[in-house]
């Protein structure tokens, strides 16, 4: 039994794709699913053209904007491994959600548009991965187009993202002259053919960089290529598994997602090198994935995944043991047992009932609002998983309603949206209007449309003269009480019941911090 659980955990690979919008995340996701046989036809993941919508594209606002507001989870098998791919919203306004998804993965695939290089959102996301030293695999995409110089791209990743690059493949040409890639570790050349996704055969492989067949095929290019590869091998880092697992070095692959070129190498890298689920820290102890008893934590809550099911889904990452359908699991924060009979997983665009799940897998628990982000579940042992971050919002709005009789609905709606992590809600000490905090402005639009659609409340958002928020704490309760008394005007309580200081400007924050040296002002709040 124990052996089986350990074996199952070892077979798992759980990762997310991080990229700037338009780098090719959706295209690559689709190719990964096609490649593994999880989906049969292109256009299932994002249906701009086919008219179908992805798992995550159900909200009107998403459809209007053609962006993926919410994350979803896809599971597929590859080479006797079970791979969980967690989708992250690419739009920067939803980065909070993305950050939390990244706490539930064991590795990340960074996709870079090779014509553009490192972009803003990639930098932010990589910084989040760094908080947990998440191993990163890099894919330089769009080599079927004119792109930037490959060595320059590696330099940029190293200097901007502060992670060393180890090219595993190397491109031969680009754009119309894209010939394929040389696999440095395997000493093989994979020949590129445009439109390859439509081909029934596999890409041709030529063994050995000195193979005379290459000179026949590319008489003009081979001398240069051999010289370039010698240079690359001398100038760049060799792949090293330990450094990759420590998040210090990233293997780099080159290709073209749309042509399905380079996809197999990425999957192989994930299966061969990316870590299986590791031990995970709870306040009480580190929990190992191969332990017999089930445990996990909720990293994301999603409302209305499907208009037919008007419930919320809590996404739980399994950290240990075996989950089997119908078993009783304990919701530790409220100390209540639930019979998890309707737990779901997400394949392609349909909900499926989960029969069993192991460390690394994600399960969805339908609920009516009693599960919050960061909640831990187990078979009974008290475990409090840590490390789910909330970030200090950068945008604020006061919120009023047109119809005062709807105050209760507004409060209920905002409390639930706050718990879901869709927006941060602050209740001022001085009893003024509720304040909403967000990382991106689109979050306010989503909240307004959901308040109207789900709670029947027409809310009005006013600008609020708040510059930033800090969660405050102090080990000395007396000092904290003094601080609260003196700063009531600027204090509020968030949806999780935590005390926050809302600063009108940077100067005010600095002065307050100087005046109250014993008080800790936190820029991020880790749940629990
Ligand atoms: P995202 O999820 O990261 O935002 O990117 P997405 O996959 O939607 O890709 C963004 C655009 O880049 C799409 O074109 C897509 O077809 C294109 N693309 C992705 N991979 C490659 C590649 O390897 N080579 C080339 N040449 N293009 C690639 P679009 O015109 O914006 O959208 P669509 O109408 O084709 O869906």
pLDDT tens-digit profile of 52-111?
334 333 344 444 433 333 337 888 889 999 999 988 765 555 557 777 889 999 999 999
Average pLDDT in the 438-450 region?
84
Hey, how many other C-beta atoms are within 10 angstroms of the C-beta on 122? 22
Q: Could you tell me if 88 and 126 are in contact, meaning their C-beta atoms sit under 8 angstroms apart?
A: no
Q: Could you tell me if 87 and 74 are in contact, meaning their C-beta atoms sit under 8 angstroms apart?
A: yes
pLDDT of residue 48: 40
pLDDT of residue 58: 36
Taking the C-alpha atoms of residue 346 and residue 355, their distance in angstroms, rounded to an integer, is 13
Which of 258, 262, 266, when mutated, tests ligand 1's pocket best, judged by the most ligand atoms within 8 Å of its CB? Answer: 258
Residue 481 DSSP label: H
pLDDT of residue 65: 37
pLDDT of residue 47: 41
Residue 459 C-beta-side C-alpha neighbours within 13 Å: 32
pLDDT of residue 228: 92
Average pLDDT in the 119-126 region?
88
Distance 42 CA to ligand 1 centre (A): 13
pLDDT of residue 306: 54
* pLDDT, tens digit, 9 for 90 and up, residues 455-497: 899 999 999 999 999 999 999 999 999 999 999 999 999 887 8
User: Is any atom of ligand 1 closer than 6 Å to the C-beta of 88?
Assistant: no
What ipTM, to 2 d.p.?
0.97
Longest distance between any two alpha carbons in the chain, whole Å = 82
Of the given ranges (11-15, 382-386, 446-450), which has the lowest mean pLDDT?
Answer: 446-450
* pLDDT, tens digit, 9 for 90 and up, residues 2-24: 799 999 999 999 999 999 989 99
Distance 485 CA to ligand 1 centre (A): 55
Distance 491 CA to ligand 1 centre (A): 45
Taking the C-alpha atoms of residue 520 and residue 528, their distance in angstroms, rounded to an integer, is 16
The radius of gyration of the chain from alpha carbons, rounded to an integer in Å, stands at: 25
Residue 257 DSSP label: G
Of the given ranges (39-43, 44-48, 287-291, 366-370), which has the lowest mean pLDDT?
Answer: 44-48
pLDDT, greater one: 65 or 305: 305
pLDDT of residue 329: 94
Which of 17, 22, 71, when mutated, tests ligand 1's pocket best, judged by the most ligand atoms within 8 Å of its CB? Answer: 22
Indicate whether 355 pLDDT > 50: yes
* E strand or H helix that includes residue 345: strand 344-347
Closest CA to 304 of 17, 70, 16: 70
User: Is any atom of ligand 1 closer than 6 Å to the C-beta of 282?
Assistant: no
């Amino acid at each position: 039994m124990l052996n089986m659980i350990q074996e199952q955990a070892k077979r798992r690979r759980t990762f997310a794709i991080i990229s700037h919008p338009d780098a090719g995340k959706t295209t690559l996701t689709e190719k990964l699913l096609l490649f593994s046989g999880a989906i049969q036809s292109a256009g299932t993941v994002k249906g701009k053209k086919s008219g179908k919508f992805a798992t995550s594209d159900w909200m009107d606002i998403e459809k209007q904007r053609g962006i993926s507001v919410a994350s979803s989870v896809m599971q597929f098998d590859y080479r006797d491994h079970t791979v969980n791919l967690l989708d992250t919203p690419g739009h920067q306004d939803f980065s909070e959600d993305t950050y939390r998804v990244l706490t539930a993965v064991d590795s990340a695939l960074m996709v870079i548009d090779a014509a553009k290089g490192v972009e803003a959102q990639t930098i932010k996301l990589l910084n989040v991965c760094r908080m947990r030293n998440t191993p990163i695999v890099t894919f330089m995409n769009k080599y079927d187009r004119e792109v930037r110089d490959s060595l320059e791209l590696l330099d940029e990743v190293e200097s901007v993202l502060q992670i060393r690059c180890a090219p595993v493949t190397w491109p031969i040409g680009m754009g119309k002259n894209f010939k394929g890639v040389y696999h440095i570790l395997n000493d093989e050349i994979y020949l590129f053919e445009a439109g390859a996704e439509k081909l029934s055969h596999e890409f041709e492989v030529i063994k050995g960089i000195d193979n005379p067949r290459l000179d026949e095929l590319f008489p003009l290019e081979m001398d240069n290529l051999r010289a370039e590869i010698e240079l690359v091998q001398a100038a760049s880092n060799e792949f090293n598994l330990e450094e990759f697992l420590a998040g210090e070095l990233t293997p780099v692959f080159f290709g073209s997602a749309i042509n399905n070129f380079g996809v197999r190498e990425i999957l192989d890298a994930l299966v061969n090198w990316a870590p299986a689920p590791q031990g995970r820290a709870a306040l009480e102890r580190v929990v190992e994935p191969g332990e017999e008893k089930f445990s996990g934590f909720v990293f994301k809550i999603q409302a209305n995944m499907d208009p037919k099911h008007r419930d919320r889904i809590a996404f739980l990452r399994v950290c240990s043991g075996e989950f089997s359908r119908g078993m009783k699991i304990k919701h530790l924060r409220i100390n209540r047992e639930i019979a998890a009979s309707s737990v779901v997983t997400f394949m392609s665009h349909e909900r499926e009932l989960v029969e069993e799940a192991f460390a690394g897998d994600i399960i969805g628990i339908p609920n009516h609002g009693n599960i919050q982000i960061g909640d831990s579940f187990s078979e009974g042992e008290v475990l409090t998983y840590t490390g789910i971050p909330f970030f200090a919002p950068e945008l604020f709005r006061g919120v009023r309603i047109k119809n005062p009789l709807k105050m209760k609905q507004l409060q209920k709606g905002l409390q639930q949206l706050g718990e879901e992590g869709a927006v941060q809600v602050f209740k001022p000490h001085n009893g003024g209007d509720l304040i909403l905090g967000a990382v991106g402005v689109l979050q306010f639009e989503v909240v307004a449309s959901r308040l109207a659609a789900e709670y029947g409340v027409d809310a009005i958002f006013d600008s609020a003269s708040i510059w930033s928020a800090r969660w405050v704490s102090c080990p000395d309760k007396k000092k904290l009480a003094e601080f609260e008394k003196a700063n009531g005007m600027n204090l509020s309580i968030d949806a999780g019941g935590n005390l926050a200081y809302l600063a009108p400007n940077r100067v005010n924050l600095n002065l307050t911090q100087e005046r109250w040296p014993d008080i800790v002002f936190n820029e991020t709040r880790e749940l629990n």
